[in-house]
Structure 1
Amino acid sequence: MKIIFAGSSDFAIPALEEIASHREHKILLAVSQPAKPKGRRQVMEDTPLAQAAQMLGIPLFCPDNINDQHNIERLREEAADILITASYGAFLGRTLRNLFPYGAINLHPSLLPEYRGPSPVRAAILAGETLTGNSIFRLAAKMDAGPLLMQEKLEILPNEDYGALEQRLALLASEMLIQYLQQPQSYPAVAQDHSGATYSRLLNKEDLHLDFSLPAEQIQRRIRAYAPEPGAWVSFKGKMLKILQAEQGEKNSKAAPGQITSIVHNKGFCLSTADKELLILRVQAAGKKQMDAWSYHLGARLNTGERIE
């Protein structure tokens, strides 16, 4: 099958690579968002998907507005059979959706209609879900609301963070996609139950700041949902400290929220919350690399009774 593949984030890469490894399919063009300035020096950087496409030798197209008539004609000239999108990051208009014989489909890391929107994996972790999955569906005018073609469930492992879960979902999505492409006619479209729709949203900086007046389980979910990037953070001695891994302790909290209650040898340090203590296991200080919390404690010389906010 002749394919145009549109994506931007790391989630899309396994599917791109899997298709490229199958001789019966040919990726005519990879479409991604334009390069953006990144880091302190604001160096222009291609999206992860764009970088992967270039490594695979796939022609790359990064328009500012994919729905511009000139860009639609550019895609029409490829004479592709199908358009596949995965975390592309832009709305595709009706003309573009109807341009291909097998239509335009999307890979979405949730069991639609649950967690439509831009951050479904983080939203599932924040909600305390133990089960998630992927959906393949036909693109429609409304976001993530098109008819379903395939779904596969995936268990969320205990203490699994966003990075690990997204990678497992991406690998599952690549397997699902190849299965679908072998016999697309075997997967009739089924309308979503829109009454059961829930939504995720984009993150903001306030979401990442941990509040130790909350229960330990809720705080741990936030740590998992934002790790390894961008990282939930706290303030210690006026500097940002990212908390990347933690587990709930067995002891009930008696100290003020955010207070260091104990140092656990070769593991890390415990903080007080609204109910139980939270054992911090992995951190990243401002301007430093990630490290285990015990090593951070040795360098920062933490003491019980000190407060992290």
Structure 2
Amino acid sequence: MRLIFAGSSEFAIPALEMLLKSTYHEIAMVISQPARPKGRKRRLEDTPLARYALESSLKLLKPEQINSKETIDMLGALNADLLITASYGAFIGKKMRELCKFGSINLHPSLLPKYRGASPIQSVLLANESITGNSIFMLEKHMDSGPILIQEELEIEGNENYSSLHDRLAIQAAELLKTLLSDFEKYTAKAQDHSLATYTQKIERDDLKLDLSLGAGELLPKIRAFSFEPGAYLLFREKPLKILEAELVQEDSVMPAGSITEIIKNQGFCIATGKHQLRIKTVQAAGKKIMPASAWLLGSRAEVGEILK
């Protein structure tokens, strides 16, 4: 098949890589979001998928408006069979959706109709789900609501964090796409049951702050959902400290929530919460690399009784 592939984040890379290696498909064009200012110096930076496409010498288009007449005319001239989207990050209009012979499909990392929207991977971890998966569906006007062509479950491993689950889902999505494209026309798209739909929201900065008045059991899913990126955090000496790995300690503490209750040599430290304690194992201080909590303790000289808030 002659394909147009649209994506932006790292989630899309395994699928594009699979297509690039295939002898059965031709990538006529890769589409990604334009470069945006990033970091403290606000330097323009391409999306991860755009960088991969350039490194792989693929034709790359980064339109400001994917639904513009100019873009549609340019892509229409390619006479592609199918438009594939994966974490592209913009609405695909009707003319673009109908541009190719077989229409347009999307790779979505949840078992639709559950967890539609921008943050399905984080949301299944926040909900403490044990099963998630991937869905590939026909694009239509409403978000993540099109009929499903193929779907597959994936078990969430114990204490799995966002980064690990993201990578496993990306690989699964690529394999699922490979299966679908091996005999595309045999698959019948089945309508979603919209009455079962649930929705996720874009993750905001305020969502990342840990509330230590909650119990340790409530805090752990949040730590996992945002680790390693963007990182749930607390304030220590008025500066943010990302908490990237922790475990439950059943014992309660008489010390106020947020207090460092114990420092364990070569392991980390414990903090009091609204119920039980958290043993902190991996952290990232502002401007620093991810490190074991024991290494952070050596540099910060944190002491029992100090407060994280």
* TM-score (normalised: structure 1): 0.98
Q: Amino acid of the residue matched to residue 41 of structure 2?
A: R
Q: Who is 2:170 aligned against?
A: 170
Q: Amino acid of the residue matched to residue 84 of structure 2?
A: I
Matched, 1:158 2:155: no
Which secondary structure state, in structure 2, belongs to the residue aligned with residue 221 of structure 1? helix
Which secondary structure state, in structure 1, belongs to the residue aligned with residue 250 of structure 2? strand
Q: Who is 2:183 aligned against?
A: 183
Q: Amino acid of the residue matched to residue 2 of structure 1?
A: R
Q: Who is 1:223 aligned against?
A: 223
Q: Amino acid of the residue matched to residue 100 of structure 1?
A: C
Distance 2:200 2:132 in 1: 14
Matched, 1:99 2:99: yes
Distance 1:264 1:139 in 2: 52
Alignment of 1:13-162 (within 5 A): 13-162=13-162
Q: Who is 2:246 aligned against?
A: 246
Distance 2:23 2:300 in 1: 55
Unmatched 5+ residue regions in structure 2? none
Distance 2:178 2:219 in 1: 38
Unmatched 5+ residue regions in structure 1? none
Shift of 1:254: 3.1
Q: Amino acid of the residue matched to residue 112 of structure 1?
A: L
Which secondary structure state, in structure 1, belongs to the residue aligned with residue 165 of structure 2? helix
RMSD of the alignment, in Å? 0.8
Q: For each residue in 1:53-93, what CA deviation from the matched residue of structure 2 results, as whole angstroms up to 9, or x when unmatched?
A: 11111100000110011111111011110000000001111
Whether the 8 Å CA contact 1:126–1:218 is kept in 2: the answer is no
Q: Who is 1:290 aligned against?
A: 290
Shift of 1:124: 0.6
Shift of 1:255: 2.2
Distance 1:238 1:122 in 2: 27
Q: Who is 1:194 aligned against?
A: 194
Whether the 8 Å CA contact 1:8–1:48 is kept in 2: the answer is yes
Q: Amino acid of the residue matched to residue 217 of structure 1?
A: G
Distance 1:66 1:15 in 2: 21
Shift of 1:183: 0.4
Q: Who is 1:281 aligned against?
A: 281
Shift of 1:20: 0.4
Q: Who is 2:260 aligned against?
A: 260
Distance 1:269 1:57 in 2: 48
Q: Who is 2:304 aligned against?
A: 304
Which secondary structure state, in structure 2, belongs to the residue aligned with residue 252 of structure 1? coil
Whether the 8 Å CA contact 1:125–1:221 is kept in 2: the answer is yes
Shift of 1:98: 1.0
* TM-score (normalised: structure 2): 0.98
Q: Amino acid of the residue matched to residue 291 of structure 1?
A: M
Which secondary structure state, in structure 1, belongs to the residue aligned with residue 117 of structure 2? coil
Which secondary structure state, in structure 1, belongs to the residue aligned with residue 294 of structure 2? helix
Shift of 1:119: 0.6
